Structure 1
Amino acid sequence: MLSKIRTLKNHQGFMRYFKNTSWLFGEKILRMVVGLFVGIWVARYLGPEQFGIFSYAQSFVGLFAAIATLGLDGIVVRELVKDENRTGELIGTAFWLKLIGAFLVLIILAIAVNFTSNDSYTNALVFIIASATIFQSFNVVDMFFQAKVLSKFVVYANIISLFVSSIVKVVLILNEASLVSFAWVVLFDSFVLAMGFLYFYLKNSTLSIKHLKFNKSTAVDLLKDSWPLILSGIVISIYMKIDQVMIKEMLNAEAVGQYAAAVRLSEAWYFIPMVISASLFPAIINAKKQSKALYYERLQKLYDLMVWLAIAIAIPMTFLSDWVINLLYGEAYHEAGGVLIVHIWAGVFVFLTVASGHFLIAENMIMKAFYRNALAVFFNIVLNIVLIAEYGIKGAAIATLISWIISGYIYDFLDKKIRFMFVQKTKSLIGYRAYLFLKHRKS
């Protein structure tokens, strides 16, 4: 074991990716701890009803927010890894495309709110929060540093934004601010993060702003590759947020607050597969250049890691859910415990879905990501209609769990071209490789 550790420490490629992943993990863990602490304080301060309205507004914006990204993130990182000489045109073109996408989101929202039962106050919250997508165009800097495996600069920007945001929220709570003030903080957060990205890019890149130019042919090429991801992103956004929107329409704002409290705790862990997959994405692509055997071996190891991490989170949260909710949110959120018991297990299939999504991008099977997510959304909406009416907010959690199983696991079996992924994921779920390891140790 010590010999292997020494070998890995001397392996430049491994250490490069390990340090990059460590930076990302450190930032996300800090964000989870600080964000949860402040977020829970906000939830306790607002109470279930106002927190429900706030969560609903964020969820409603979330239904359309994927349009602003235009599915470009993974595609741009892939192209930057392939050809560093195109960095200026790729980053510049992606920025302008994302900015156009952000304004498109605002136009769509202006139409969509007319089909809801929202009052003018709730709609005001929606548009304030939605305006943050304009500044999210600056996350093209994140793509640049991902491709360079230099995520520490992204971490710096995120930490600055996190602490500024947290201080502002605490000040608002201490001064008994209104709900709309917290919506303005969402917009302010996005602005601070954008300025942080811009600062670290200018400081650490040899390319100046004038080199980041929009290229029409590059834009067309990127959109040709990314349009399935746009559709998939929209579907995922609906998938992740429709439950809270439906709870508001079918029940009330307080029920949304109860449900959102549990979901915030459950989804707080979703950064883990995103960080690991994003950081290892370049390494997985490079493995394909060496051999298919190494490529699939790394993919299997990634699935194994995803499953065991998710289970390690789900088991204690299952037994401690009521205690955790009462400790963090207080007795006012007493219904959230039952939701958390169910919702936390969706994480197993969320982790697998995120990991396999990067494989689909690498193999240019982007439409399959859309198909599986569309199938899951269909089941999620249908199940929500039935189960929310029957079981309330716990029914929404059951619908989420079933739909993630369909998306992250069952769909692979239904598609012949990626059925091998179903086999790989099954091995991870049943601990097959752990069994082989223990068997080998005994022999």
Structure 2
Amino acid sequence: TFLFARLLGPEVFGSYNYLLTLASLYAILQDGGFRTLIFRELTSSTFQEIQGSLVPLSIGHNILVSITGALILIILPLKNSYLLTLAIFSFGLGTITTFFSSQLKGEGMFAAEARWRILTRTIGALCVLIFIFIFTPSIQVILGGTIVGYVVALSIRPSSCKLKVFFKKLSPDVYKSLGSLLIIDIATLVYFKIDIVMLRHLGSGLEEVGFYSAGSRLLEGLIFMHLPFATVLFRAMRIQANHPDRFIPYILKLFFFSICSPIVIIPTGWFFSKEILQLCYGEIFMGASPLFNLLLISFLFMVLNLVLTQATLAINLENFYAKITCVAALSNIGLNFYLIPAMGAKGAAIGTIITEGILMILISAGIFLWHRKLDSKQ
């Protein structure tokens, strides 16, 4: 990402992130909720009849949705349809790699999953670098290199990960769970990414989108650093959920422990924001410093929500969480409509902070009500 920003410049980098945002929204349909369901079911099965065929089913679903999206873009005369088609296939292949990651994590093979993730990222980065070296750096060259990287990685996947395709009509209960998980992913991505789309159309131009994207990517990087811990903890939460009397104390312990990271990172980021942006993106992106400082505030809520989200899914409250994420997404859209025309990218950053705060309050309330309901039954 840092190299792309330096090579493409703020405007083209903003356009690149805009296209990626649109494709990532469609990638949720390519995932279809299977990624989370695979992890959950292989950890502690609810639908035993499909446990062994979940990965082939997910790949079949992914292929159908990817082909459908490509055909729609071919039929409709949309601007940048060629680039969007490349992005859809890129995200489709990337989603298949996440299905295998979920399989490995669900089976408790965290070391193998880490090696698989490193392999896919490394090969993908190398292929993109080779493409950039051979061809003139552009959006299509980057996407082409990414596609080739995923193909190579999938060809040398772990031996336990079988690249099989399976089509089967599932039971209504499975579709209900998948639907809830799909809604969660859509709503989550909307309130994470819709600000870039709205900033593109309501803001002052692509340069502003590029600056905001630079700050957002750094924030995403910080969150990604915490995902391995959340993944391991989800498995522990899923097991602790069978003992409600120990579940809430365990979550509270994790909740307060997770505050340590933002306490260190946020002040450090404020103090060195210009230096960080200059080091990562170059001097031309130093104007993104005020935006990055604002976005760092939301990092506190994001880390806490990461713990609360895993806890909610561990106790099978995906239907409740789906409703909450929809509320958060709608709140973020409303805030962006109000704040972006008046404040530009700063308004989008403030909208993110408020949305994350709302989400934290609602998730906490849901877990509290779940525990209170269990106590009343007992």
| Same fold per superposition (TM over 0.5) | yes
Aligned to 1:283: 236
Q: Distance in 2 between matches of 1:255 and 1:303?
A: 35
Deviation at 1:47, TM superposition (A): 0.6
Deviation at 1:331, TM superposition (A): 2.4
Q: 1:266 to 1:294 in 2, by over 3 A?
A: same
Deviation at 1:263, TM superposition (A): 1.0
Q: Does 382-391 or 182-191 show the bigger shift?
A: 182-191
Q: Is the 8 A contact 2:44 2:238 kept in 1?
A: no
Structure 2, gaps ≥5 residues long: 373-378
Out of 216, 222, 226, the residue aligned to residue 263 of structure 1 is 216
Q: Distance in 2 between matches of 1:383 and 1:96?
A: 38
Aligned to 2:174: 222
Aligned to 1:40: 2
Out of 62, 66, 81, the residue aligned to residue 98 of structure 1 is 62
Counterpart of 1:216 in 2: which secondary structure? Answer: coil
Q: Distance in 2 between matches of 1:109 and 1:396?
A: 29
- The within-5 A match list for 1:24-173 is 39-83=1-45, 87-106=51-70, 114=78, 120=79, 122-135=80-93, 136-173=95-132
Aligned to 2:244: 292
Q: 1:359 to 1:101 in 2, by over 3 A?
A: farther
Identity of aligned residues (%): 22
Deviation at 1:214, TM superposition (A): 4.5
Q: Is the 8 A contact 2:127 2:146 kept in 1?
A: no
Deviation at 1:106, TM superposition (A): 4.3
Deviation at 1:313, TM superposition (A): 1.9
Q: 1:401 to 1:264 in 2, by over 3 A?
A: same
Q: Is the 8 A contact 2:38 2:54 kept in 1?
A: yes
Q: Is the 8 A contact 1:78 1:147 kept in 2?
A: yes
Q: 1:57 to 1:316 in 2, by over 3 A?
A: same
Deviation at 1:185, TM superposition (A): 2.3
- The within-5 A match list for 1:200-239 is 200=158, 203-204=159-160, 213-217=166-170, 220-239=172-191
**Counterpart of 1:123 in structure 2: which amino acid?**
S
Q: Is the 8 A contact 1:306 1:348 kept in 2?
A: no
Q: Distance in 1 between matches of 2:353 and 2:75?
A: 31
Q: Is the 8 A contact 1:49 1:253 kept in 2?
A: yes
Q: 1:419 to 1:376 in 2, by over 3 A?
A: farther
Counterpart of 1:315 in 2: which secondary structure? Answer: helix
Q: 1:363 to 1:108 in 2, by over 3 A?
A: farther
Q: Distance in 1 between matches of 2:363 and 2:105?
A: 29
Aligned to 1:338: 290
Counterpart of 2:255 in 1: which secondary structure? Answer: helix
The yes-or-no answer on 1:389 pairing with 2:341 is yes
**Counterpart of 2:108 in structure 1: which amino acid?**
V
Out of 310, 318, 342, the residue aligned to residue 358 of structure 1 is 310
Aligned to 2:205: 252
Aligned to 2:375: none
Structure 1, gaps ≥5 residues long: 1-38, 115-119, 421-443
Deviation at 1:355, TM superposition (A): 1.8
Aligned to 1:315: 267
Aligned residues: 367
Q: Is the 8 A contact 1:322 1:337 kept in 2?
A: yes
Q: 1:170 to 1:61 in 2, by over 3 A?
A: same
Q: 1:168 to 1:303 in 2, by over 3 A?
A: same
* 1:120-143 deviation digits (Å, cap 9, x = unpaired): 3x3322221111233223432222
Q: 1:109 to 1:299 in 2, by over 3 A?
A: farther
Q: Is the 8 A contact 2:37 2:178 kept in 1?
A: yes
* 1:396-434 deviation digits (Å, cap 9, x = unpaired): 1111111111112356448972598xxxxxxxxxxxxxx
**TM-score (normalizing by structure 2):** 0.87
Counterpart of 1:364 in 2: which secondary structure? Answer: coil
Counterpart of 2:272 in 1: which secondary structure? Answer: helix
Of structures 1 and 2, the larger Rg is shown by: 1
Deviation at 1:109, TM superposition (A): 6.2
Q: Is the 8 A contact 1:247 1:256 kept in 2?
A: yes
Aligned to 2:152: 192
* 1:286-345 deviation digits (Å, cap 9, x = unpaired): 2233x3232222212221232222332222112211221123222211321111001122
Q: Is the 8 A contact 1:70 1:101 kept in 2?
A: no
- Structure 1 vs Structure 2 CA RMSD: 2.8
Q: Is the 8 A contact 2:5 2:281 kept in 1?
A: yes
Q: Distance in 2 between matches of 1:396 and 1:111?
A: 34
Deviation at 1:215, TM superposition (A): 4.4
Q: Is the 8 A contact 1:62 1:238 kept in 2?
A: no
Counterpart of 2:137 in 1: which secondary structure? Answer: coil
* 1:167-190 deviation digits (Å, cap 9, x = unpaired): 333344445433321122232333
Q: 1:257 to 1:209 in 2, by over 3 A?
A: closer
The yes-or-no answer on 1:370 pairing with 2:332 is no
Q: Distance in 1 between matches of 2:205 and 2:328?
A: 25
Q: Is the 8 A contact 1:71 1:230 kept in 2?
A: yes
Q: 1:217 to 1:259 in 2, by over 3 A?
A: closer
Deviation at 1:257, TM superposition (A): 1.0
Aligned to 2:142: 182
**Counterpart of 2:129 in structure 1: which amino acid?**
V
Q: Is the 8 A contact 2:335 2:351 kept in 1?
A: yes
